[in-house]
Homo-oligomer: A and B are copies of this chain.
Amino acid sequence: MADVRMKGFKNRLKFDEVFKVIDSIIKPLAPEKVSLDSSLGRILYEDITSGVNVPYFDRSAVDGYAVKAEDTYGASLYNPLHLTVVGESCAGKKKLHIKKGEAVRIMTGGMMPDGADSCIMAEYTEEKDMILSIHKPLSIHENVSLVGEDIKKGSLILPKGRVIRPPDIGVLASVQKKEVTVSRKPRISLIITGSELASIGETPKDGKIIDSNSHLLTGLIQDSSALITSTKIIPDDYEKIKNAILSSDADILLVTGGTSCGKKDYAPLIVSEIGKLLVHGVAMKPGGPFGLGIISEKPVFLLPGNPLAVCVIYDFFVSYALGQMQGAKNETRAASGTLTKKVPSSAGRTDIYRVFYHDDLVDPQRAGGASILSSMVRSNAYLVIPENIEGYEEGEKVQVRLFR
């Protein structure tokens, strides 16, 4: 019990350095094809270029009439010009043709007839007995979307690494992608350790506590592009933890734990014995007792047992690793606002505050005890205070990182 670890970490890694360690051990996952309708949130494994022009025909941008612009020159409310209506542009029917002095009815998106070069909005016309009176002159291509105006054939639509959002799906449909190649989802093993853990429904006593981390992580992972392959809840037992780690067939392991009974923290020991322990202790709060290693080329994340640290470590390190495994380009989730309170921070340590960002204001939400998640519940963003800064003053402008 009174071993060196109990007295704190000798050398804590800097917060920023952890990302470099992650970069050094992450291996990209293989691609897979998924249908467009199940691609939301997945990460593109290929550049998407369009094989088609959108639109592939000149189309009207208004409800009205397709005409020759030259037939409208000089038209006004006091000097209407007159054209003959020769038909309607109709999706699925053969393309029409107009000659000088003729017009074709057309709706927004309708295919321009041959010979027409502009469209007049119905508001500036009167139609009676197939004769159209025009009150306004047009210029060539006025109110017409030309071939390829939305998307040009051969152009890059979405780059590799893009996290697919709903509008992307609309665009992918319009360029006729029925399926897309995305990175396979990382498979995650959860190993929740702690002899003190009881399950919901049990009545905990003698210092036992309810395991919340398995549920918390389930929620966090559901919000990510990733899958849980197994969740094991294990007492502080060297052999049992080692077996759980060795028997995992996932791409990445998350081990949480744990307040033990004067025994060693087994997980870092096991990782260093059967793999390589690359990080143990980070100069950050919360989450300082974080560890990261690699066993048989699989990253193993060691998360402190307190749920607040689990949230922070997941949101900063694990989600970064999951994104990198899938080749994700970083998303911007930064917003800026004015601090409503002073936030102190220790030099030499990265402090991560939970804040409620609203109306251009950044309200820090303080947590009382170590394991309090309630500051997360009240917050919608993180405020990261880098190690070289000793806090921010009330009224200072700061950048926050919004929760997903």
Contact = CB atoms under 8 A, between A and B. Distances in A.
A118 to B, nearest CB: 15
A262 B127 contact: no
A260 interface: yes
A48 B34 CA distance: 39
B373 A357 contact: no
Contact of A170 (B110, B167, B176, B311): B311
A49 to B, nearest CB: 14
Given A223-B40, A311-B170, A178 B196 contact: no
Given A127-B2, A360-B336, A369-B145, A167 B95 contact: no
Interface in A80-123: 88-95, 105, 107-111, 122-123
A219 B259 contact: no
Nearest to A3: B122
B311 A167 contact: yes
A386 interface: no
A79 interface: no
Contacts of A211: 173
A295 interface: no
A207 B90 contact: yes
A13 interface: no
A233 to B, nearest CB: 12
A215 to B, nearest CB: 4
A207 B36 contact: no
A359 B334 contact: yes
Given A167-B373, A170-B307, A200-B176, A209 B109 contact: yes
Interface of A: 1-2, 6-8, 36-37, 40, 55-57, 59, 61, 63-64, 88-95, 105, 107-111, 122-123, 127, 145, 149-151, 157-158, 165-174, 176-178, 194-196, 200-201, 204, 206-216, 218-220, 222-223, 259-262, 305-307, 310-311, 331-332, 334-337, 357-360, 368-374, 376-377, 380, 399, 402-403
Given A88-B262, A168-B377, 10 more contacts: A90-B262, A91-B196, A105-B262, A107-B261, A109-B370, A111-B207, A151-B374, A157-B377, A165-B377, A166-B220
